Amino acid sequence: MPPLSSSVLPSHSSPRRCFASSSTSAFTPFGAAWAAFGYSFPRAQPPIPEVKHLALGCILCLTSCVVTAIANSLMKLDALRIEAKVQQMILMDMDPWEPPPVYRRKIVGLAVVFYILSAVFDFWSLVYISMSIRACSSGLTVPANAAVARVMLGEGLSRAQTIGSILIVIGAVAAMAFGSSDDGGSDQNITALLSSARFITFVGITFPFYLLSFSVSRWSMRAHVAIDDHIPVSQAQVQKRRGRRAVALLALAFLGGYQSAVTALAGKFGAQYIAMDGLSAYQPYLCFSVVIASSLMQLTFMSWMMRQFDAVVCIPPYQILLMLFMVSFGAACFREILDLITG
C-alpha cells in the first residue's frame, strides 16, 4: 500500500485521523524530529499485537530507568571528585581551590546527555503503553540506581535496602502487568483543567510552600557543613541544626514529588496526547521543549539533593523558573489523578 498523505485523503478524513489509524511503530524519535520541522509521512502497516506493544513499552521504560540511574551516578561521581580535590588541597595546606563552573565539567555534561536520553525514552514509551503502566514502572528506578551505583561507584546495599528493592520490583512488575491499557482523556480535558479555578487555586496555595521548602533546604546547608566540619558548637546548637537538616530532607522529598510529576506529565503531553492524536494537528516543537525542560528539572533536583550531602555542587540560579513549571505541571498531574480516583 502506498504511503498516505493529506493530498489523497477523502474530504471527510483528516490528517489527524490518518496518523492515528496508522501503526504506532512508525513513530520513532527520528520520525518525531522530522515531523517537528513540519513533515510527516504516516504509513499504513499491519497492526502490532497488544502484547508486543506492552513488551516494547516496558522495555523502553526499563531503559529509561537505567539511563537515569547512570546520569545520577555520574553526578555523584563528579561531586565525589570535587570533594576529594578540596580535601587534598586542605591536607597540602594550599590556597583554597574553587571548583570549575558546572558547564565546564565534562562529567556533568555527560550526565545532562543521559538525562535528556532518559526523557526521550519516557517520551517514546508512552506511544506503546498507557500513563498508568508507565507510572507503575517508575518504581524500578530505585533498584536501577542501586545496581548502577554498585557498578560505577562500588556502593553496596544493606539487607534492608536489598529487601526493599526486591519488594519495589515485585510491586512495579505486578502493577505493570495489571495496569489499565487505556487512560482516556484528551487535550481538551487538559486545557480545561489548566484554566479551571480549582487548578489556579491549587497552584496559588502550593507555590508558597514550594518556595518555603526550597528556602529551608538552602538554609540547612550551613548547619550541615558546620556539623560535618566539626566546628565547635554547643549540644543545643547541634540538635537545632540536625532538626533543620531533617526538615530540609522533608522539603527535598516534596521537591522530588513535583519533579516526578512533571516528568510523567511531560511524557503524557509528548506522546499520548500528541503522537496518538496526530503530530500534524499540534505543535511538535512544544513537545520537545517540554521534554528538555523536564530533563533540566531532573538535573536541578539532583543538584539540590547532592548539595545536602556534599556541599560542593552548585547550579546557576535558574531554579525559580523551573519551580514554576514544576508546580504548574505537578498540580495538573495531581488534579488529574484525583479526578480519576473520584470519577
Domain count, the chain: 2
pLDDT value at position 101?
78
Same domain, 166 and 212: no
52: amino acid identity, one letter: K
Same domain, 111 and 230: no
Instruction: Tell me, yes or no, whether 135 lies in a domain.
Output: yes
pLDDT digits (tens, 9 = 90+) for 187-214: 444 455 555 565 556 556 656 665 665 5
Instruction: Tell me, yes or no, whether 308 lies in a domain.
Output: yes
Nearest to 291 by CA among 262, 316, 258: 262
CB atoms closer than 10 angstroms to residue 51: 8
For residue 233, the enclosing domain spans 184-343
Instruction: Tell me, yes or no, whether 86 lies in a domain.
Output: yes
Same domain, 249 and 337: yes
* pTM for the model: 0.47
Same domain, 142 and 268: no
pLDDT digits (tens, 9 = 90+) for 273-293: 444 444 344 444 454 555 555
C-alpha cell at 87: 580535601
Which of the pair, 162 or 115, is modelled with greater confidence? 115
Instruction: Tell me, yes or no, whether 164 lies in a domain.
Output: yes
What does the DSSP assignment read for 65-134?
Answer: HHHHHHHHHHHHHHHHHHHHHHHHHHHTTPPP-PPPPGGG-HHHHHHHHHHHHHHHHHHHHTTTS-HHHH
Same domain, 217 and 292: yes
